[in-house]
Amino acid sequence: MRRLLLDTHAFLWWLSDSRRLNRQARAAISEASALVHVSAATIWEIAIKARLGKVNPGTKHLDQEIAAG
């Protein structure tokens, strides 16, 4: 089992299906046996940047996106 911790950029790129996330990273995150984590600090950072209009996470339900990941 592979354990991964996504930083803010990687998580946002994953949500938006951005090509900035390379093929190898996509495969690792998509792996059925992978245990993917997102830090509470990442959610905090996204919330602050969204309020400032610097980022649009594409959803208002990040908690559901994390759980579904």
| Tokens coding 8 | 């803010």
Question: Residue 51 pairs with which residues in a beta bridge?
Answer: none
- Give the gyration radius of the chain's Cα atoms: 12
pLDDT for 60 equals 65
Q: How confident is the chain (69 residues) per 10-residue block, as mean pLDDT?
A: 93 90 94 92 87 77 60
Burial class of 24 by CB neighbour count within 10 A (0 to 12, 13 to 18, 19+): exposed
Secondary structure E strands in 1-69: 3-6, 35-38
pLDDT for 22 equals 95
Three-state SS at 6: strand
